[in-house]
Structure 1
């Protein structure tokens, strides 16, 4: 089943769009931008008919780019400072039109990293893309269509990306863009005077260049994992399962844990058990923390268009994770995430402003993890499902990525808001069957060993 590329063009910001004053024309990347993966993030969004024409979608994208000019610019180095920057040159985003002479249902269900999903969004690896935003519209014989996108992580995080996509949908429908994008990348991240570095950022956000970088469980260990394919399992937890899980975990607790804390604790423990880690081996859960909800002085607005992410790193031995009640694991997660507060974010800014990163040649630890670790992206509350080009909201949203051992995504399992939650977990195939067995049978044993 072939997906045929019919056209590929550049879409520049509309001349009459937005009306906001932009200054300057060169936007220096912040410390948070520089910390992220220097790569594209991609997702696909599937819609039932009716579908707007590609001409209408293209015009809507041009209007959205007039409001979100970062995505129509290019990355480079600012000569005056020597720092990486976004050049607001309106060079444009890539718009690709594709066609499939078969129904969308024939390739369902879709899994991240599979060849068919790779063909549903633009490829940046093969064409040496300079665009910071690439989109592909694929139309199927049944009338359904899929919008796939690839957007550069150095420009913005998941929330910034989705706000640009929502603006595209709003512009296509001819309604006001909301939230209004906030482009100021300076005022919210001023260092304190005097600097107050209150936390340890070496070995947390930064490492020396010569330190071993395992690329999230890709280290050269002499175990079966190196020769084993990493696969992704997509599981939907019903509202009833989630309520039962949370009820059991929180029983007798004066302050209930959140649904995410309970579910992540459950997944972390199931992964650890399935891997068969020795009891004394430490495992770390790397959890992305959104600074928009944490920073206070000043607060970063939801419409901010850059990155505001740091990571929490709860750590425990396999024995500690498996021997006690799941509430203990949930408490460990809650405590470590709560530690990444306004003071921590400000300390990070002050550490970068101190010059230590440049003087010591430190680099980001975004890609660094050990083979017994997990990395969690909880995008359950990022409003990807609100994307609508005029024919109704999408029926499927899915992040796409190359499966990496220990990577976990948590997102809504449907656009209906029915309380169900989907988890996408990537593990080596030789441990995946054990992990699947543990996912649901573990609930009756939440208060004891699994």
Structure 2
């Protein structure tokens, strides 16, 4: 796929019917923004023709940025020296590109480095824009939108809301519901604070260099040199029928030789997420060849909007995510049925409730992390997670609701992210109730994963 860039520009907010607001203000990042990954997240959309012209999407982006001003700003330090979004209205990167071939020749997209051509090239240099967009046109009239955004500014839920607003603005419709932009004041610590859970070693840890007295630590040596293997990203499709059988298996009796998990007798069954992730956890652990006595841990993103009391509005713009960390012995995980893994996941996620979120706010606001030199465990420089895994579920995010005027996308996927041990879940592009899982593993483990990933046990 040869992609030709035809233009690259900055799009700034377009304010309708009034003067532009001051560009000297800033919004401090709150405790949830600062503890998440300091990285850009990229997604890809594909739209069948007819599609509106690029100029319409550019104008729509300008109007959407006027509503979501933080995306048009820059990361920096606020007046108090703390990390902040500077409301500079400096704008977003807008790139136009073309491919001299029909889209069908490249579909379905495979998770490979070639996908990076569908995003603005950063050439290894510093990136200032918090949002970068590339519109790639194909000879058949199809449009591919590569969207890249900085995670510190917003999580998946908030980013999905912005993308829907961009579509509405392109169609000259009101960008509603409006975002709730109160990240600086919404999450205040209690008086007195009550830190009721262990956040050291969970959201925060002491970096390896400090654990070793300030000496440089070779992370590749710590993982046994495995980073020298090649990492591949593989997409596996679980059909609606497969997911139904998997859920039924997770909710069935484990048999006379194995006792049910502690909470299984009090529950009717396990959710789609718990069943699918439990299955993937067992399958990846087996494919990696992990055995008895080796611990394996899942890092599961948990959206706190509906968990806090009172609930945080769905339209809240910012980060509202913490993590659940179920842990298992690898041998036990693989030898026991999927119900065991689903139950571990259910219990771990259930513990990340309102009390946990408020305890985190109190701890993260106390200054203890800074005083002790702690760093977030969400470390984008860690390219190998084995024997652990991380899963991000996009099953409930409205990514498929984006409509620029020619209808919703017929294809959506995360871009190429070769971080070993990561998994992304999203609804199947077929729209049949199935689930796509993008799994990143070492090449040596991937072949075994492919062989066993449809085995239900």
- TM-score interval, normalised by the smaller of the two chains: over 0.9
* Match in the other structure for 2:96: 97
Q: Distance in 1 between matches of 2:396 and 2:298?
A: 20
Runs ≥4 residues deviating over 6 A: 17-24
Q: Distance in 1 between matches of 2:93 and 2:64?
A: 14
Identify which range, 50-59 or 23-32, moves more after superposition: 23-32
CA contact (8 A) 1:41 1:401 kept: no
Matched, 1:206 2:204: yes
* Match in the other structure for 2:85: 86
Give the CA deviation at 1:180.
1.2
CA contact (8 A) 2:39 2:151 kept: yes
Give the CA deviation at 1:222.
6.7
CA contact (8 A) 1:235 1:422 kept: yes
TM norm structure 1: 0.92
Q: Distance in 2 between matches of 1:365 and 1:197?
A: 18
Give the CA deviation at 1:315.
0.3
CA contact (8 A) 2:24 2:88 kept: no
Pick closer, same or farther for the CA change 1:7–1:249 going to 2, 3 Å: same
Write the deviation string for residues 120-169 of structure 1: whole angstroms up to 9, x where unpaired: 01233534221110101000111101010110111011111111111110
Give the CA deviation at 1:24.
8.8
* Match in the other structure for 1:59: 59
Give the CA deviation at 1:187.
3.4
Identify which range, 347-356 or 171-180, moves more after superposition: 171-180
* Match in the other structure for 1:393: 408
Gaps of at least 5 residues in structure 1 are 213-217
Question: How many residues are paired up?
Answer: 435
Within-5 A mapping of 1:282-361: 282-296=295-309, 298-361=310-373
Q: Find the residue that maps to 1:292 and give its secondary structure.
A: coil
| Aligned alpha-carbon RMSD (Å) | 2.1
* Match in the other structure for 1:215: none
Matched, 1:165 2:163: yes
TM norm structure 2: 0.91
Q: Distance in 1 between matches of 2:302 and 2:20?
A: 30
CA contact (8 A) 2:27 2:84 kept: yes
CA contact (8 A) 1:288 1:309 kept: yes
Matched, 1:117 2:119: no
Pick closer, same or farther for the CA change 1:139–1:23 going to 2, 3 Å: closer
Gaps of at least 5 residues in structure 2 are 213-218, 254-263
2:279 aligned to 251, 266, 282, which one? 266
1:371 aligned to 370, 378, 386, which one? 386
Write the deviation string for residues 399-421 of structure 1: whole angstroms up to 9, x where unpaired: 113212111111001262x2111
Q: Distance in 2 between matches of 1:18 and 1:147?
A: 30
CA contact (8 A) 1:17 1:63 kept: no
Give the CA deviation at 1:188.
2.4
